[in-house]
Amino acid sequence: MNLVHKPLAEQVIVVTGASSGIGLATARMAAERGARVVLVARDGEALARIRAEIEAAGGRALDVVADVGRRAEVQAVADRTIAEFGGFDTWVNVAGLTIYGYVWEVSDEDAARLLQTNLWGTMYGSLVAVEHLRRGGGALINIGSVASDLAFPLQGIYCASKHAVKGFTDALRMELLQVGAPVSVTLVKPTSIDTPLPQRARNYTDREPKLPPPVYPPEEVARAILHAAVHPQRDIFVGGGGKILTGLKEFAPGAYDLLAPAVTSLQRRDEAPRNPEGALHRPAGDGQAHGSHPGYVMRTSAYTRATLHPFATAGMVAAGVAMTAALMLAGGPRGNRRT
């Protein structure tokens, strides 16, 4: 089914995890482009500030405090949105957390909380959204990760959750196609993104966590999400680095496994942990789209731009992939630059 949705300026878009990182960048960008935005997260104070910021710039927003790991609260988001705006056109499941530590170190309680947010939160959001979208059409966009296709040390529980999100999203898409529902389902798979995710993580290690290079800005993911809200695509990788690693793993899985020591090292700063408890069980320092990555942050992803806009030149794509590969091998240039 080849679906094309309303222009962004005519849409109502629900964004979970809207208080920080990718969710916040997406909500801001959607509002700037004329969409009415529903902000969803656990941190009510952060959401109120973001709503005020959007409205001060001339946009329209509704903030709804909810824990996506509780289905009744997700349903309440949909009900509030329908009451306020008459419905919604796109639902984006962004809310997610991570844990740094070897899998045998992670407590059952912490693992369960992560899965409740990352997996059940995505499932609840998808099911509630589809119940509405099946009647009038629209887009469901789930945020997976390069970890939907890959596994890497120190974030095993996170990888498990994102593998599960991919399986659920793929099955839901097939079922909607089978019944002819006018709903597009897109899985967006970011690579390392400069958000507060590492600082908000539950950290079992003896070092402050960080992201392995190459690292991309959250606005690059937001552009991909909003593109899919109008022009659906099945899957979108954000960051050529993720596509390269996925290709390596598929071509030579044994060789990929041998990268474990290097990948572990690239996820650890040379400093003690700042906030080991993170935001796993309660909000902690929301309100920022960007993180504090100590290295270089790519301005864009030529690979992702090309997949969204197929008429991009092959030369631009090749140059972007070459630069990405060089950064992965070198560990990234010094300095930090953001869009």
- Are the CB atoms for 66 and 76 separated by under 8 Å? yes
Catalytic residue, chosen from 100, 102, 124, 158, is 158
100 is catalytic: no
Query: Is residue 36 within a helix (H) or strand (E), and if so which, with residue range?
Result: strand 36-41
- Are the CB atoms for 144 and 162 separated by under 8 Å? yes
User: Angle, to 10 degrees, between the axis of helix 121-136 and the axis of helix 71-85?
Assistant: 30
Rounded distance between C-alpha atoms, residue 110 and residue 280, angstroms: 7
Chain centre to alpha carbon of residue 152: 17
The CA-CA-CA angle for residues 219, 221, 223, to 5°, reads: 70
- Are the CB atoms for 217 and 204 separated by under 8 Å? no
Rounded distance between C-alpha atoms, residue 331 and residue 339, angstroms: 20
- Are the CB atoms for 21 and 218 separated by under 8 Å? yes
| H helix count then E strand count, the chain | 12, 11
- Are the CB atoms for 155 and 102 separated by under 8 Å? no
State both tokens at 110. 């912490």
- Are the CB atoms for 62 and 51 separated by under 8 Å? yes
Residues that are catalytic = 158
